[in-house]
Amino acid sequence: MNSRTARLLALLLLAPLAALAFEPSPVAHPAVADAPAGLTPEEGLARLREGNARWVAGRIGPRDHLADIRATGHAQRPFATIVGCMDSRVSTELVFDQGVGDVFGIRVAGNIINDDVLGSLEYAHVVTGSRLLVVLGHSHCGAVKGAADDVKLGHLTGLLARLRPAIAAVPDDGTPRNSTNPVFVDKVARENVALSIREILARSPLLRGLHDSGRIGLVGALYDVETGRVEFFQATPSAAAASINTD
């Protein structure tokens, strides 16, 4: 067995054990690594805000991707995890001007939450030690429009059904409740982000424990595909968390 194989085996064996070791208690988190370079959730959020400001101003990069590859080839310590939509205009690394190894990106149509997404988030925050969790919706979202129009298409039908609670959460103001109404579509996208955050905290005792103990920050945001700007729903991760009623 060469050393690389041994390292891989060690990672495969130790990572699951590290997670299982404290799964029964969402309060104690001995296996959570310290944040890379000491980044707190607030510092991580500031880094994302600054990166998006560069993106909007057309001042991203330049980056030495080869140097980043060499630096991260044997380990990764992303400071943030972003749950976003698969939309081709909303690349999580690009819109926040982040490089190789900086952020975990979980992308699925409509940035919905399911068991697999929760499992990925628990890996990111419990095993790897990422300190900031962002749920990023976006304007003109095709998944939101499809759900609003009650589109039925293969496996997409079940995925779009996960957006129904967000649609139901938008008060009826007498205007069309379908994809022809951009204001309605925007409101559903915002509700979807808020409900996703609530679902994460309600369904994952591990993430709820990290959140309640202040180890991770959790914030919602919306990306404007027409301007490139990200609107964070709250000023700080802790403020965002405090405003969310998960009861």
Q: How far apart are CA 119 and CA 114, in angstroms?
A: 9
Burial per residue of 75-102, b for 16 or more beta-carbon CB atoms within 10 angstroms, e otherwise: eebbbbbbbbbebeebebeebbbbbbbb
Smaller CB separation from Zn ion, 136 or 206: 136
* Least CB distance to Zn ion at residue 192 (A): 10
Q: Which positions lie near Zn ion, rule CB under 5 A?
A: 85, 87, 141, 143
Q: Which is nearer to Zn ion, 52 or 128 (CB)?
A: 52
223 vs 232, which CB is nearer to Zn ion? 223
Count Cβ atoms below 10 Å from residue 30 Cβ, excluding itself: 8
Sheet holding 103-107, edge to edge: 103-107, 80-84, 132-138, 217-223, 230-232
Q: Find the shortest distance in angstroms from Cβ 16 to Zn ion.
A: 32
Contacts of 228 (CB under 8 A, 6+ apart): 52, 55, 56, 95
Least Å distance between CB 151 and Zn ion? 13
Question: In one letter, which amino acid is 4?
Answer: R
CA angle 168, 134, 55 (to 5 degrees): 110
How far is it, in rounded angstroms, from Cα 212 to Cα 209? 5
Name the residue nearer to Zn ion (CB basis): 60 or 85. Answer: 85
CB of 225 to Zn ion, least distance (A): 9
* 147 vs 219, beta carbon nearer Zn ion: 147
Strand partners, 136: 84, 221
Nearest to 102 by CA among 28, 156, 50: 50
Nearest approach, Cβ of residue 86 and Zn ion (Å): 7
CB of 67 to Zn ion, least distance (A): 33
The residue among 77 and 140 lying less far from Zn ion, judged by its C-beta, is: 140
